[in-house]
Amino acid sequence: MKFISIYFVLLVSLSVSAQTNDNDSTSLLVNDSLTIKIAPPTSVIVEDYKYDDADNLQLHWVPSIDDMPQDGKVVRYRIYQSTNNGSFVLVDSVNFSVNMKKIEGLAIDSTYQFMVSAVSKNYEAKSNKTITIQTEREWINFNLASLFLIALLITSAVIYFIETARRGKELFVRKIAGLEAVDEAIGRATEMGRPILFIPGIHDMDDVQTLAAITILGKVARQVADYDTKIRMPVARSLVMTAARETIKTAYQTAGRPDAYNDDMVNYITDEQFGYVAAVDGIMVREKPATIFLLGAFFAESLILAETGNSVGAIQIAGTARPAQLPFFIAACDFTLIGEELFAASAYLSGEPKMLGSLKGQDVGKAIAMGVIIVGVISITLGEAYGIEFFSNITSSIQSFFTVNK
Amino acid sequence: MELFGIWVAALLTLGIFSFLYKDNPVYKICESIFIGVSAGYWAIANFFDALHKKFWVGVFPTDGSDPNYMLWFGALLGVLMLLRLSSKIGWIARWPLAFIVGATAGLYMMLYFVSNAMNQVASTMRDVIVTSPETHLIMWGETIGSILIVIGVVSGLVYFFFSKEHKGVFGYTARVGIWFLMITFGAHFGYTVMSRMSLLIGRIDFLFRDWLHLLN
């Protein structure tokens, strides 16, 4: 019995010992399997980023051979940068399967070196260092070559038409309904003895719509000066006030009535959108202008202004290039200049060769656009319907020409 | 203090709403407060944002960075603008104005040309008979959509073509273009009116909930 007990104790001891050894070996095996060793990315190449202001570099690499999406071993790549031969610091990381990165925000007078590492859950394999490189500045961006060619074509057309107009040839511009009404609207204000209100929108002089409005103001002010009608122009931007005063003053001088000009014709209200609207609405109901021009860049205030103008019985001529505000002007105003009509208006009203030539040149651009669209649509439709690669390639070529990569 | 603010906001809101009846002294007071406060606010905001934060900090940096001497050019233009206060040399004020207008036109010309012309042309060139890749059957929804886009763009361009009278086929095409524009404007109108209604609801909610406590 005693031997049996000793044998049993030995057996249990051996068993426990064996178990412990088994556990130890399992532990080692588990640690080994947790470390997901991976190969580093190779052929890491850094080169200058083309057509920039010397502030970018382009980094490429061949992904790690363990970068298989189905395995999920490589989770990301880390990018290390050394500046002016300093130590490498982590600057960015990208997801697995990615093999390039644009390095931004660099300086032209520094040198750079890079290293890319593949990262698994618990392992990082670093590549070799790249060559040392400096950024370069290019003076011409050839990515914009197609833009340059088309701009050159349209500009040539503009110059041609300007010269044609200067030689005295009459350039035809179709009638624009809203502009035909300008004379009538100013005449109406003169007959009624009430002022004309000119609202140039709420944007500054850095908006082409405001520029167009100021150009039209020149023509309106000239007629106002001739008819001795009162004009009132509240503005929301100080620069617009300065430009408008200059424009009206010039118009009065051209009309031979500089003494009739007064700086108070144009007055600044506030930059605040709805503060400006509240003031203009007040002016409308108190002064009851016979004619209101709403030309320029308008936003949420468009309907408020147009509706108030309508309620005081004024004849309203509006124009903006903002599609979201045009519906309100169309609903509440007598005449509306839609989009480009606003820009065409200045040329139409002035009759100056420069402006007319510019308008005709833009028409050349539109004709080109129409022709190209029609050719492109027919080609791609025939190409896809009958499987003719030649036709599909025509459209692809045109599309790539018109797609500008900055 | 918060209660005082709510009362001021509520009374000003009602004062502005009173304009819906007709112009009145209460509206005039609210209008003057609005204009005065906003003009004062923008004067201070421009002073600190432009003169201090951009110019002063830019040319006299305190964080060890290099001064940006280009900002002096902007400051010079600003000073020239102020010369209009002088009757003798006020004409110099036209120079900064001409600079702003010219620079703006130049900067935006290419920007708009790319986004509003070239990219539009490239996107409009599309297959107008769209078929399913699997069954090769015509997908009517996509086909009609593509045809409408092409017709809309071309007829719209015809409408904005100023060198030819809108007569004959050209005139009919332009009329199709204006129809497309009007339908688009109608959709915009409905969408915007709905968003304005939500603004009105917000204001009424403020009056009834925060001011009168009639809503929980």
CA distance A209 to chain B (A): 11
Task: Enter the tokens of residue A107.
Answer: 């300086």
By mean pLDDT, which of A33-37, B26-30, B88-92 is the weakest? A33-37
* A66 has a pLDDT exceeding 80: yes
Residue B61 is assigned to a structural domain of this protein: no
Q: If you count residue pairs, one on A and one on B, with CB atoms under 8 Å apart, how many are there?
A: 172
Nearest chain B residue to A155 by CA distance is B109
* A12 has a pLDDT exceeding 50: no
Q: Tell me, what's the pLDDT at A22?
A: 40
What confidence tens digit (pLDDT) does each residue in B164-212 have?
999 999 999 999 999 999 999 999 999 988 988 999 999 999 999 999 9
What confidence tens digit (pLDDT) does each residue in A219-238 have?
999 999 999 999 999 999 98
Nearest chain A residue to B17 by CA distance is A278
Mean pLDDT in chain A? 88
Mean pLDDT in chain B? 92
Residue B20 is assigned to a structural domain of this protein: no
Q: Tell me, what's the pLDDT at B112?
A: 84
Task: Enter the tokens of residue A15.
Answer: 């068993």
3-state secondary structure of B92: helix
Out of A324, A338, A399, name the one closest to residue B181 (CB).
Answer: A338
Query: How far apart are alpha carbons B139 and B122 in whole angstroms?
Result: 22
Q: Tell me, what's the pLDDT at A381?
A: 94
A327 touches chain B (CB under 8 A): yes
Contact status, residue A78 vs residue A93, Cβ threshold 8 Å = yes
Q: Which residues numbered 163-182 in A keep a CB inside 8 Å of some CB on B?
A: 171-174, 176
Q: Cβ–Cβ contacts within 10 Å for residue A168, how many?
A: 7
Q: Could you tell me how many residues make up chain A?
A: 406
Q: Do B119 and A404 touch (CB under 8 A)?
A: yes
Q: Which residues numbered 67-106 in B keep a CB inside 8 Å of some CB on A?
A: 81, 84, 93-94, 97, 100-101, 104-105
Out of A205, A282, A372, name the one closest to residue B31 (CB).
Answer: A282
CA distances from A257 to A188, A250, A266, A291, B110 (A): 21, 10, 17, 22, 40
* A11 has a pLDDT exceeding 70: no
Residue B53 is assigned to a structural domain of this protein: no
What confidence tens digit (pLDDT) does each residue in A174-204 have?
888 888 889 899 999 999 999 999 999 999 9
Percent of chain A with pLDDT over 90: 71
Q: Tell me, what's the pLDDT at A406?
A: 62
Q: Tell me, what's the pLDDT at A32?
A: 54
Q: Tell me, what's the pLDDT at A207?
A: 87
Residue B108 is assigned to a structural domain of this protein: no
CB under 8 A, 24+ apart: contacts of B179-182: B180/B151, B180/B152, B180/B155, B180/B156, B181/A338, B181/B156, B182/A330
Task: Enter the tokens of residue A395.
Answer: 């459209």
Residues of B in contact with A339 (CB under 8 A): 160
Q: Tell me, what's the pLDDT at A21?
A: 41
Domain around B212: 126-216
Residue B40 is assigned to a structural domain of this protein: no
DSSP code at position B63: S
Closest alpha carbon to A100 in A39, A47, A40, A37? A47
Query: How far apart are alpha carbons B184 and A327 in whole angstroms?
Result: 9
Residue type, A155: T
Q: Tell me, what's the pLDDT at A365?
A: 93
What confidence tens digit (pLDDT) does each residue in A88-111 have?
999 999 999 999 999 999 999 899
Q: Is the dihedral of CA A313, A319, A323, A325 positive or negative?
A: negative
Residues contacting A287, CB < 8 A, separation 6+: A194, A195, A197, A232
What confidence tens digit (pLDDT) does each residue in B129-158 have?
998 888 889 999 999 999 999 999 999 999
**Rg for chain B, CA atoms, rounded:** 28
* Mean pLDDT on A349-360: 85
CA distance B78 to chain A (A): 11
Percent of chain A with pLDDT over 70: 91
Q: Tell me, what's the pLDDT at A23?
A: 39
Q: Tell me, what's the pLDDT at B1?
A: 82
What confidence tens digit (pLDDT) does each residue in B72-102 have?
999 999 999 899 888 899 889 889 988 988 8
* Domains of chain A with CATH codes: 42-126 (2.60.40.10), 171-351 (3.40.50)
CA distance B162 to chain A (A): 5
Percent of chain B with pLDDT over 70: 100
The pairing of strands A100-103 and A266-268 is unpaired
What residues does A103 pair with on adjacent strands?
Answer: A57
Task: Enter the tokens of residue B189.
Answer: 């109108």
Identify the band that residue A37 occupies on the pLDDT scale cut at 50, 70 and 90: confident
Out of A172, A366, A377, name the one closest to residue B157 (CB).
Answer: A366
Interface test with A, best of B24, B111, B121, B126 (most A CBs within 10 A): B121
Q: Do B127 and A381 touch (CB under 8 A)?
A: yes
Q: Do B188 and A323 touch (CB under 8 A)?
A: yes
Residue B187 is assigned to a structural domain of this protein: yes
Q: Tell me, what's the pLDDT at A211?
A: 87
Contact status, residue A234 vs residue A275, Cβ threshold 8 Å = no
Q: Do A399 and B112 touch (CB under 8 A)?
A: no
Q: Tell me, what's the pLDDT at A15?
A: 45
CB under 8 A, 24+ apart: contacts of B194-201: B196/A300, B196/A303
CA distances from B12 to A173, A365, B16, B30, B92 (A): 50, 51, 6, 6, 43
Structural domain tally of chain B? 1
Out of B154, B160, B161, name the one closest to residue A374 (CB).
Answer: B154
Q: Tell me, what's the pLDDT at A27?
A: 36
CB-count burial class (<10 Å; 0-12, 13-18, 19+) for B42? middle
Closest alpha carbon to A216 in A239, A248, A238, A189? A248
Q: Cβ–Cβ contacts within 10 Å for residue A208, how many?
A: 20
* A30 has a pLDDT exceeding 60: no
Query: How far apart are alpha carbons A4 and A23 in whole angstroms?
Result: 28
- Count CA atoms closer than 13 A to B61's CA, side-chain side: 9
Q: Tell me, what's the pLDDT at A71?
A: 80
Q: Do A151 and B113 touch (CB under 8 A)?
A: yes
What confidence tens digit (pLDDT) does each residue in A115-144 have?
999 999 889 999 999 999 999 998 898 988
Residue type, A379: S
Query: How far apart are alpha carbons A330 and A316 in whole angstroms?
Result: 10
* B25 has a pLDDT exceeding 80: yes
Interface test with B, best of A160, A164, A205, A206 (most B CBs within 10 A): A206
Query: How far apart are alpha carbons A90 and A94 in whole angstroms?
Result: 12
DSSP code at position A265: G
A304 touches chain B (CB under 8 A): no
